[in-house]
A = this chain, B = another copy of it.
């Protein structure tokens, strides 16, 4: 059993997550740490101290990513990287992102104490940004490390107070060439430990999720245009009712999604009705569609056929339809070899696990486009995330860290 060789160090995971959440704690007992803001700066500085205490060599890169390095004996070796992001959504949870950083620090500390210097260099990273909560841009940390993001991406970006992205970055001391070069060509792989942010593991009584794919996703705005009319004087057959059309479309979408594949999801989360008056037949409805799956071909086939069917339904209702696709992200496959290392360990340790897709985006989605990447989940209680009520049991946190230790040991020693 993994539990057998767990030292006192592992019990600190919960305490350290609590400690990190004090940087940006809100009155709801949530956490708000936005890229480059004061709480964010203090959290990164505090983590730098923790890395040092853990026997790691800490350093910033010029974008604000913070690394803790455990040098390998094979000097020319490429670097095995683990970690996650330090930023949060507004009033988010303690675990999202933070867990992966804390787990990485504990794992590297544990490995060096238990096994001494590794052959391969290990680094833990506290990525500066993933959520897109301050500026309308996501994956600023992993995006700069891999080269996905460019300086031009932020030229016009401002936060809700009108502060320019670049000014905020400079004010925090970054983007001025004072720290290490951000783009890296020396990484051999990336391993991210994260809370699931869903309830699949908890419902199925699994301790760990080994992610095979991060799903692709497409988002649409659908606008139905009918005709406003008097709710009393317009017989049903004369109506061009945008609400009843939209209702039929959304019902059809949901039914079709359920039949398509157990892992396929389709969501209508936003809906606006015009003029939105009880006794007036609606002229216009706009609604969002978010569809996700691990196979691009299935996303393509689903959207093609469902939108054909939408058009037929609209014709029957004498309404017009306009479909706008404003997001199209490809699925990203995680590294099979790295997954196999994890599943072998989990089998051996007799820990219940599930090979699954991630329905949410993560930094692993960016790294996975450039280098072998593995994303590992621990359960989220009731699937609650991006909320002060986000919670993962201490025992689950520890199981995840022990798995990370064993994987890193396998790769670096």
Contact = CB atoms under 8 A, between A and B. Distances in A.
A83 interface: no
Interface stretch (A66-74, A102-110, A227-235, A335-343): A227-235
Contacts of A282: 268-269
Given A247-B247, A251-B244, A234 B265 contact: yes
B270 A278 contact: yes
Given A197-B230, A232-B359, 18 more contacts: A199-B234, A200-B235, A219-B278, A230-B386, A231-B267, A231-B269, A231-B292, A231-B359, A233-B383, A234-B359, A236-B258, A241-B254, A243-B268, A246-B247, A251-B251, A269-B278, A269-B282, A279-B290
A233 B385 CA distance: 10
Contact of A257 (B197, B236, B270, B360): B236
Contacts of A229: 383
Contacts of A360: 230, 232-233
A94 to B, nearest CB: 17
A70 to B, nearest CB: 32
Interface string A331-361: 0000000000000000000000000001111
17 contacts: A200-B238, A229-B383, A230-B359, A231-B269, A231-B292, A231-B359, A233-B383, A234-B265, A236-B266, A244-B251, A247-B248, A267-B279, A267-B280, A269-B275, A270-B276, A271-B276, A279-B290
Nearest to A327: B278
A247 B268 contact: yes
B254 A244 contact: yes
Give 9 closest A-B pairs by Cβ, nearest first.
A198-B233, A232-B359, A247-B250, A278-B288, A231-B267, A233-B359, A244-B254, A232-B360, A247-B247
Contacts of A278: 219, 267, 269-270, 288, 290
A267 B241 contact: yes
Contacts of A230: 197-198, 359-360, 383, 385-386
Contacts of A290: 231-232, 278-279
A219 B270 CA distance: 25
Report, as a range, how many residues of chain A touch the other chain.
Answer: 35 or more
A22 B229 CA distance: 26
Interface string A210-238: 00000101010000000001111111111
Contacts of A247: 246-251, 254, 268
A31 B269 CA distance: 39
A385 B244 CA distance: 22
A241 B266 CA distance: 11
A171 interface: no
A360 B234 CA distance: 10
Contacts of A200: 233, 235, 238
A272 B248 CA distance: 17
A288 B243 CA distance: 11
Contact of A265 (B231, B243, B266): B231
A251 B241 CA distance: 11
A328 interface: no
Given A203-B238, A230-B360, A269 B277 contact: yes
Nearest to A244: B254
A262 interface: yes
